[in-house]
Amino acid sequence: MSKTMMSLCVLLSLLAVSAGASAADDARGFVFHDMNNNGAFDQGEPGVEGVTVSNGREVVATNSRGEYVLPVSNDTVLFVIKPRDWSTALDADGISRGYYVHKPAGSPKTEYPGVPPTGPLPASVDFPLTPRQEPEKFDVLVFGDPQPENEAGVDHYKHDVVEELVGSDALFGITLGDIVEDRLDLLDDINESTGKIGVPWHYVMGNHDMNTDSTTDALADETFERVYGPPYYSFNYGKVHVIALDSVYREGNDFHAELGARQLAFIENDLAHVPDDHLVVLAMHIPLLAFSDREALFNIVKNRSYLLAIAGHQHKVAQFFLGPDDGWPGETPLHLYVAGATGGSWWTGFRDASGIPHATMSDWSPNGYALLSIDGNGYSFRYKAARRPDDYQMVITAPERVMAAEAATTTIIANVFAASERATVEMRFGEEGDWIPMTQQPGVDPFVESFHAREKAIAPEEAPWGKPGETHHLWTGVLSTNPSAGMTVIYVRAVDQFGATLTGRRLITID
């Protein structure tokens, strides 16, 4: 063979290899009614028409036989988008296994293992569904950042948060990222603990759930994909469509909030299959105002009639109603609910008799979780402090004793944990006093500052991480100008934007 012919053959071979590496294969399979619940597509089991399936970008609906076709690369997660009144296959911890990871060569080596080699693409990638009737009204458990850094943190999570929820009648739950504090070997323990609640559970990826020894975003979710499947995805319950976003973009040794073009394409393609009378819930770790590409997201969702955003990350409870000043182009404000953290101040603070840190957050909200109540495409929220009564919704700060002559200038502060700017807060001095409007005054709760200083002075190693932070859920008022001497009760009444009444009381002595 001549040198010219040999060079031509080498060139053709290289071109062929290059074309093969870049060309996407087509994955095909069926979404089917798993009548005997064995996870296999058996003869006689019908396909389910109109169910959407995605590769993380394209979204297609199954045909009359339950069949779909999607392109895949050598790093693709295929997943079925759970339809209403059906359940995907769930593992023992209530996590959906309605996905297939296609990584023929597996994940690169990392400290915490990723996906093992999956081998060639199967001839048919099938997804079983089983019927599960879903009501119009139901509750959703919403957890922000559990974030244990060690096994003791997992134990605190189990006893402080999970135990009171075992046997919950919620329809499902979701954790909004920072499932752990970089210790990805704790994910299985967290999953097993949360699974004891006994409802299907969905997980969002946070910045502390990444492979930190990976310096590119494409490889930062390898362990997450091994444990949970797709890093972003969607699902339906009743008339609610939830999109679980990956809001964390790994860049070198740092990260920022970004969705990226592929995920944005998925969101747009996904919503093309969602009726406008459904409530769309954008579930994320980092709140969307930090997204570098939030304008692109806003343009995709701005015309939805029913829209809600929920987030974690901030370790405080907050509510925002986004408008033009925030870059939101929709006709009505976009409600963003920041759910706080089930781990509070990262499981720090003085311990109680059970050995559990109080973990109070920087805004003085207790660690806990949100209860999202759904009614059709409508919703309401209630915050639940861990191991506290349902009606523990505020802390009132007032002096122990006040001179009668100083009453008119004595400020009373109500920190209403989950109240928004749309709440109405009033106070009353004594049983017969008139209700006095209180004024919303964002800032740092002085009670938090004094409490934090006392803890730090007594035992710095046990004091909560972080400093007292600004909160939007503070209200202030002053006492009556002519209070009677003696001990009496200050009552505070808050009516939130959903019409729920929250109450608090504090005793004070007038000299």
Residue 291 is predicted with a pLDDT of 97
Take residue 388 and report the two structure tokens written for it. Answer: 């506290």
Q: Which one, of 187, 135, 129, lies nearest residue 157 by Cα?
A: 187
Alpha-carbon span 334 to 297, nearest angstrom: 12
Q: Which one, of 16, 26, 20, lies nearest residue 121 by Cα?
A: 26
Strand partners, 281: 242, 308
- Averages of pLDDT over each 10 residues, the chain, 511 residues: 36 33 75 97 97 98 98 97 98 98 96 97 97 97 97 98 98 98 98 98 98 92 98 98 97 93 98 98 97 97 98 96 96 97 94 93 94 98 96 94 87 94 94 91 85 79 72 91 86 96 95 90
Residue 338 is predicted with a pLDDT of 97
Residue 69 is predicted with a pLDDT of 98
Residue 23 is predicted with a pLDDT of 44
Alpha-carbon span 71 to 54, nearest angstrom: 9
Domain boundaries, the chain: 23-128, 133-385, 394-510
Residue 18 is predicted with a pLDDT of 33
Give the list of residues 6+ apart from residue 442 with CB closer than 8 angstroms, or none: 470, 471, 472, 474
Residue 215 is predicted with a pLDDT of 86
Take residue 89 and report the two structure tokens written for it. Answer: 């296959």
| pTM of the predicted model as reported, rounded to 2 decimal places | 0.92
Residue 470 is predicted with a pLDDT of 86
Its CATH class, for the domain covering 394-510, is mainly beta
Alpha-carbon span 490 to 477, nearest angstrom: 11
Other Cβ atoms less than 10 A from the Cβ of 108: the count is 11
Alpha-carbon span 501 to 498, nearest angstrom: 9
Residue type, 202: H
CATH number of this structure's domain 23-128? 2.60.40.10
- Are domains 23-128 and 394-510 of this chain identical in fold? yes
CA distances for 227 relative to 73, 97, 101, 159, 452, angstroms: 20, 10, 11, 24, 38
Residue 463 is predicted with a pLDDT of 64
Its CATH class, for the domain covering 133-385, is alpha beta
Report the SS3 class of residue 141. strand
Residue 103 is predicted with a pLDDT of 97
Alpha-carbon span 373 to 462, nearest angstrom: 36
